Structure 1
Amino acid sequence: MTATIATGLCLVFGVPLAWFLARVDFRGRRLVRALVTVPLVLPPVVGGVALLLVLGRNGLAGRWLDAAFGLTLPFTTAGVVLAEAFVAMPFLVISVEGALRAADPRYEEAAATLGASRWTVFRRVTLPMIMPGVVAGAVLCWARALGEFGATITFAGNFPGKTQTMPLAVYLALETDPDAAIVLSLVLLAVSVAVLALLRDRWVSTS
């Protein structure tokens, strides 16, 4: 559930961000791209600490959220979603930006000369062209969110029924129920293999 919601958040914010990085030339674009993709190389635990520093109860933004709205994100289900979205977003942005750069801009230009608005061009021309990249990015994003461990346990904890994800359940079961840990690990392994097989078929079919 949390991996699916996190993927939805990544789609809502990641697709426009990828379009912005691919289509708009502005000073500092390399820096923005580096900041977006830094979770790929950042240790997940460090990502969780960064989320605590920003969104924790005494964090830069968390303090304001708590005072203004009484909203506390760490150690909640919403915190799990945010941690998973944080580490999974780069997979979507990179995939969609690559698809945008590979798409022929002449179709978009032709639609614009015929009077279509920017939103219409994006919805009716750009999005259908890059849909394979969006789908591939979303699948990778979901799989990465499903397997997230470090940022989740640091930012959201490991509370059964509230913030415990499958990787956290595997970690806990290793000490109390090794058989359950093996079963959960096999489920995650099967999902990972299925995702890779699906994306390989898509890449081979589109190449």
Structure 2
Amino acid sequence: MAGSELQRLVEVMDRLRSPGGCPWDAEQTHESLVKYLLEESYEFIDSVDAKDREGMREELGDVLLQVYFHSRIAEDHPTDPFSIEDVARAIADKLIRRHPHVFEGLEVSGTDEIIDNWEEIKAKEKGRTSALDGVALAQPALPLVEKLLYRAEKYKVPVALKKYESDQPATNESVGEALASIIAWARDNEIDPENALRLYGRQIAEQIKATESR
């Protein structure tokens, strides 16, 4: 049943994008749809936070639509087309390559080694030599900075960063409170906290780049 419904979605998307289908759908591009992919992803996160099972099912469908929509648009590319089958094949092959402990019988000590293996395999596949390779700079500032710090630690690149000091132990509540107070401080001083953190993230990226070039 799952396969037949997935194929049905392929056929629906093809009908919408083909002559005689929907003019709006036919006009869309990868660029015009990007905002919808973000919106649908955030709406799914909201449904997870609310433990709304019906909402999760619906929002996952909306996210899936974006994958199929982009894949159908990609079929029309004049020189480098690909389909949803190509997308599915690529991710299935990637999962097999990145999980040798499942598909090749590699023995691992635990999840930390699994993550290390994933990163090592990924780096080899992508030919990555820099801590900055593959970091999506367009992502929101908070996950961007977190990713940059994670990569710097992983690649053993030192980053000069003022350490936050607090008498409270670090918990979800205390960290959330500290971040909220910093955001309020920024707003009181008419500073955009997202932009401020993004600018600092770029400074971290420049530190990493400078260190790696030595």
- Give the TM bin, normalised by the shorter chain: 0.3 to 0.5
Structure with bigger gyration radius: 2
Please report the TM-score for the alignment, with normalisation by the length of structure 1: 0.32
More helix by share: 1
